Amino acid sequence: MTQLPITNERGFFEIRMESVGGFGANLAGKILGEAGILGMGYNGSNFSSYGSEKKGSPVKSFVRFCAPNVNVRVNSPVTEPHILVIFAESMLDTPGLLSGAGKDTTVIINTAMTPDQARDRIKLQCGSVVTLDAMKIAIEEKTRVNTALLGAISATSGFIDPEAIKLYIKKNLGKKYAFLIEPNLKTFDRGMVEFSKKFFDDDGKYPAQPFRREGQKIGYMNQPIGGVIVNPGNSIHKDLTVSRSGWAPVLIKSKCTSCGECDITCPDYCFEWVREKNKKGKEAQVLARIDYKHCKGCLRCVEICKFDALVSRVESDVDKKIIEDGFTELT
Ligand code: SF4
Ligand code: SF4
């Protein structure tokens, strides 16, 4: 067993993964934990935190490794990670994302940016930045970004044995998903080599982003009386853009018959309708556009449309105007 390259005052090497549901962060943490603890003989722990278990909701996964003679007496979230993994570029504006990252932290980001561009985007004071276009790899290999990011974690950690991770990728996919093993191993191998890494000294460009525990906003002094909804939900605040994993539906308006099948299939009410004259000149409800703010890219609408009016496209190839307009007239 290789000695851990660095540990905190309690003897742990700690990893925090920041993601949203659908990218496989929970599984990546499980595979990493099993590879280190069962496969390599470290002591440690792995757990995740998430709300409702669905695509688009925030997910954090935590992994700790320590020497076999160190007791694991801590079960709180990782606040000052040695490796911080960010699963989607669209999360980079999330408040507190970089919380606790310092000079000993390697920040791994799923992005096509260079480490210099990424450092400026996240305003990192110092530390290592690793960038990897995991989405591109995942689309090409028909897998998910998690195994590509595991490849970058293994390669940059200096101690996590890639063979141990591969073994637990195979074990976790098992017989049920045996057909996914080969593409995921290939995705992992590509993640091991297709990244760029750069270390940044504290050059005074950006301030530190220390871990800060947000205090409890509501207590016995200011708790509203029961049954009162003081902050009603509003779909305007619900932006699911971040949860699209590389694919997006495109509405080709000229082919649409406004049959409504997509509307009853979509779990997030993304389709907007207007009352106007339809193709036969009769007043009717006509499908106007997709509101991409609410679309999480599940592509159920594409499957259901019988008229090929909805097609799936790699989102980075889709014209920004189509995303703004919510449709295209081109076939
Ligand atoms: S299912 Fe297809 S044809 Fe029907 S309304 Fe939706 S996009 Fe139009
Ligand atoms: S992909 Fe289609 S069904 Fe899924 S959320 Fe987006 S619009 Fe709705």
Ligand 1 contacts CB of residue 326 (under 6 A): no
Same domain for 187 and 69:
yes
pLDDT > 90? residue 219: no
The CATH number covering residue 266 comes to 3.30.70.20
- Report the residue among 241, 298, 314 best suited for mutation to probe ligand 2: largest number of ligand atoms under 8 A from its CB: 298
Antiparallel, parallel or unpaired: β 13-20 and 58-66: antiparallel
Starting from the CA of residue 55, give the closest ligand: 2
Q: What is the pLDDT of residue 274?
A: 96
Tokens of 42: 């470290």
What percent of the chain has a predicted confidence (pLDDT) above 90?
Answer: 73
pLDDT > 90? residue 33: yes
Ligand 2 contacts CB of residue 137 (under 6 A): no
Same domain for 169 and 260:
no
Same domain for 64 and 185:
yes
- Report the residue among 255, 263, 274, 307 best suited for mutation to probe ligand 1: largest number of ligand atoms under 8 A from its CB: 307
Q: Is residue 128 part of a domain?
A: yes
Which residue is listed with tokens 């000695």? 3
Ligand 2 atom with the smallest distance to the CA of 249 is 1
Ligand 1 contacts CB of residue 262 (under 6 A): yes
Return the exposure string of 300-313: e unless at least 16 CB atoms fall within 10 Å of the residue's CB, then b. Answer: ebbeebeeebbbeb
Q: Is residue 82 part of a domain?
A: yes
Q: How far apart are the first and last CA of the chain?
A: 58
**316 residue type, one letter:** S
pLDDT in tens, 236-288: 677 778 778 778 999 999 999 999 999 999 998 999 999 998 888 889 999 99
pLDDT in tens, 118-167: 999 999 999 999 999 999 999 999 999 999 999 999 999 999 999 999 99
Same domain for 190 and 239:
no
The CATH number covering residue 150 comes to 3.40.920.10
Confidence band for 54, pLDDT divided at 50, 70 and 90: low
Same domain for 92 and 45:
yes
SS3 164: helix
Same domain for 263 and 120:
no
Residue span of the structural domain in which 178 resides: 13-200
- The model's pTM is 0.82
Which residue is listed with tokens 């995705």? 187
Average pLDDT estimate for 20-31: 92
| Residue 91, number of CB atoms within 10 A of its CB | 18
Ligand 1 atom with the smallest distance to the CA of 260 is 5
Give how many domains the chain has, as a whole number: 2
Q: What is the pLDDT of residue 37?
A: 97
Ligand 1 contacts CB of residue 287 (under 6 A): yes
pLDDT > 80? residue 178: yes
Torsion angle of C-alpha atoms 130, 239, 211, 196, degrees rounded to 10: 0
Same domain for 45 and 194:
yes
Return the exposure string of 155-193: e unless at least 16 CB atoms fall within 10 Å of the residue's CB, then b. Answer: bbbebbbbebbbbbbeebbeeeeeebbebbbbbbbbbbe
Ligand 1 contacts CB of residue 305 (under 6 A): yes
201 contacts: CB under 8 Å, gap ≥ 6:
126
pLDDT > 80? residue 1: no
Starting from the CA of residue 269, give the closest ligand: 2
